[in-house]
Structure 1
Amino acid sequence: MMAFGLLLSCVLLTSGFSAEISVFVQTGDSVQLDIQTQQLPDFDLLSWSNDNSENIVKYLHNSKEVKLHSSYKDRVDFNNKNFSLTLKNMQKTDSRLYTARTSGESDKNIVTYRVSVIDAVEAPVLTVNSNSSSPDPCNFTCIGSNITINFIYNGSSCSPEEVTSDHYTLRLSCIGVSIMCNYSNPVSWKIDTKKVNKICTVNKGKLEAAPAFLPWVIVICLIALASAVIGFCIYKRKKGTQKNEQTIYAEVDVSVILLFFINHRLSFIF
């Protein structure tokens, strides 16, 4: 696997002092520890060592000779141009301090790394407690290892919730109709997502109610129109308007056509 990118803090270098740089690496990966070469003084010997006082690498400047510690011989690469150290196949037991030092007219610590080797996160689990017979919103539970977030979805929006423990972060958020449970650490992340409109009663109710609205509006409008036409015909008869036989037949035809149209529309809608 390729080396995971270094997560570096701001480095303050002064004479005889170096700040620690925190680095996280996934178990089994490699990590490269660098030196700011412009900060190097003249030296006879450059070494990389750990906090167990083991000299992982010794580099003799004049002879260009590189000496590796026996327990690291097959696990390290040393660059004699920029003096960086690459540690391979990192395990949790390799979590410790690593320091570069020079020796010459005086000894000097150049840089110190605090390397933390951690496992990739396991996939989180997002569950929903939804009662199909209840109008209450859905209750979601987001679980990542030993971290848990409980969350109620109100059917429209939500505010992200986040819990951090040690180097692990659990975050529950929503975008549109999707609920997302994201579990991460400095070297990896995994996510579980669910569509709430396929689960939550509150959303199903809204989706079922919407289509029924339009047909009822059409029915009401048709009934109102029929009532207005029939009322107009009755009004004309009461006023004693002279009508010839053709006109009477025309009115009957209009009423028959209108009733046929209403019945046809009702059968289509239902």
Structure 2
Amino acid sequence: SALGSPKCREETVAAGAELRLVPERPPLGWVRLDWRVIPDRGNQHRILTADRNKSRVSSSSSFLGRAFYNAENLSLWITRVTTADSGVYKADFQAPSGSVVSICFHVSVWEPLGQLLLEANVLHKEQDRCNLSLLCSVPGASNLSYSWSCTGGPLGTLKPQPQLELQVLGDTDPTVCACNASNPVSWSKATTDVTAACHSATGFLDILPWWAVALILLLVLAIFIAVIVTCHWCRKRRQDPPAGQAEQPMTVYEEVGKPRTGQPPPRNGTSETTMGEVTIYASITKAQGPSRPPDPECCTIYTTIQPSRKLPRCLTAGSPSASQPPSVKKKRLDPALVSTAYTEV
């Protein structure tokens, strides 16, 4: 069984490089050494085994061709390491009694940093002040440390984070900011001229503050809504005439004496006929509401007119007084002197 729980020594290595683990102060009288690994993702397995009194060394298949043992300092060498090789490595020294003393190493394999990207975005520009944001990033990398440095006057506290916000005055000297990103095995640096970035942003939206742009957009939207509401109200008012405006009665006059060739009798109107001293007229009022085609089922009013000094009476068919006048009963009238006016209602 292992004696105690020893504290592991930290080791960092770049991916693709060589890992060397040398145990310090190994125990005396050991007879067997086993190098083992507990990967960050996986189970513990043996790398190689070495006997003190024999030159026999056996390696596991997972590290075959990559793991080597140095008998002079009892060290372990692993070539072409990858991030999958990160984990806890142990050197287990077995005594003749069977007890085991372990020396462990915590190994971290890091990918070297690629090209660093530094982007400058102008947030707001007003008169002689320019607010901008700097973003520092490395594609595909994680767990990085950042640091900033800028030339010129003081720009405030530069926090160790990937994004930096600062303000540049228009009368200041050219300001150059640098971002440095690093991990335990490599680092990368990029610079940018923030003064030039502010001068290049001369758009309308950059000159006006954000609240002014928002106010202009709200004003335009309010005007647009007001125009739509006004047009809708005017159109509705034009379609609906004012209440109380009634159409005046209309009087239609028509002469009934001589038939008109090719002219049908009037419909739904009034007629005035003059035959000698005879006149027929009527007043009608146009009905309110939308026009509609006449009802196919309509009534016809007949009136028999006799020229005389007195005005004839218009009689409706079917009424008690619709019988022939006394003058017609007493003597026969010349058909040419009798006229009949009718209308459909």
TM-score range, shorter chain: 0.5 to 0.7
Question: For the structure 1 residues 148 and 80, does the alpha-carbon distance in structure 2 shift closer, same or farther, using more than 3 Å as the test?
Answer: closer
Say whether 1:42 aligns with 2:29. yes
In structure 1, C-alpha distance between the alignment counterparts of 2:129 and 2:136, rounded to whole Å: 22
Give the C-alpha shift of residue 157 in structure 1: 1.6
Q: Is the CA contact 1:124–1:144 (under 8 Å) kept in the aligned structure 2?
A: yes
Q: Is the CA contact 1:172–1:179 (under 8 Å) kept in the aligned structure 2?
A: no
Mapping for residues 224-263 of structure 1, pairs under 5 Å: none
Aligned residue pair count: 178
Say whether 1:82 aligns with 2:73. yes
Question: For the structure 1 residues 148 and 34, does the alpha-carbon distance in structure 2 shift closer, same or farther, using more than 3 Å as the test?
Answer: closer
State the partner residue of 1:18: 6
Say whether 1:141 aligns with 2:138. no
State the partner residue of 1:97: 88
Give the C-alpha shift of residue 132 in structure 1: 7.7
In structure 2, C-alpha distance between the alignment counterparts of 1:84 and 1:28, rounded to whole Å: 19
Q: Is the CA contact 1:161–1:173 (under 8 Å) kept in the aligned structure 2?
A: no
Q: Is the CA contact 2:151–2:177 (under 8 Å) kept in the aligned structure 1?
A: no
State the partner residue of 1:32: 20
Mapping for residues 124-163 of structure 1, pairs under 5 Å: 124-130=116-122, 134-145=127-138, 156-158=153-155, 159-163=157-161
Match of 1:58 among 42, 49, 52: 49
State the partner residue of 1:187: 185
In structure 2, C-alpha distance between the alignment counterparts of 1:42 and 1:16, rounded to whole Å: 19
Give the C-alpha shift of residue 199 in structure 1: 3.9
State the partner residue of 1:122: 114
Specify the SS of the correspondent of 1:71: helix
* RMSD across aligned positions (CA): 3.4
Mapping for residues 199-214 of structure 1, pairs under 5 Å: 199-201=197-199
Specify the SS of the correspondent of 2:62: helix
**More helix per residue:** 1
Give the C-alpha shift of residue 97 in structure 1: 1.5
In structure 1, C-alpha distance between the alignment counterparts of 2:58 and 2:4, rounded to whole Å: 24
In structure 1, C-alpha distance between the alignment counterparts of 2:50 and 2:3, rounded to whole Å: 21
In structure 1, C-alpha distance between the alignment counterparts of 2:164 and 2:102, rounded to whole Å: 42
Q: Which has the larger radius of gyration?
A: 2
Normalising by structure 1, we get a TM-score of 0.56
Matched residue type, 1:28: G
Identity %: 22
In structure 1, C-alpha distance between the alignment counterparts of 2:6 and 2:77, rounded to whole Å: 20
In structure 2, C-alpha distance between the alignment counterparts of 1:148 and 1:89, rounded to whole Å: 25
Question: For the structure 1 residues 180 and 68, does the alpha-carbon distance in structure 2 shift closer, same or farther, using more than 3 Å as the test?
Answer: same
Question: For the structure 1 residues 154 and 188, does the alpha-carbon distance in structure 2 shift closer, same or farther, using more than 3 Å as the test?
Answer: closer
Give the C-alpha shift of residue 107 in structure 1: 2.6
Q: Name stretches of at least 5 consecutive residues in structure 2 with no aligned partner.
A: 167-173, 200-345
Q: Name stretches of at least 5 consecutive residues in structure 1 with no aligned partner.
A: 1-13, 164-169, 202-270
Q: Is the CA contact 2:133–2:165 (under 8 Å) kept in the aligned structure 1?
A: no
| Bigger RCO of structures 1 and 2 (CA < 8 A, at least 6 apart) | 1
Say whether 1:70 aligns with 2:61. yes
Q: Is the CA contact 1:97–1:115 (under 8 Å) kept in the aligned structure 2?
A: yes
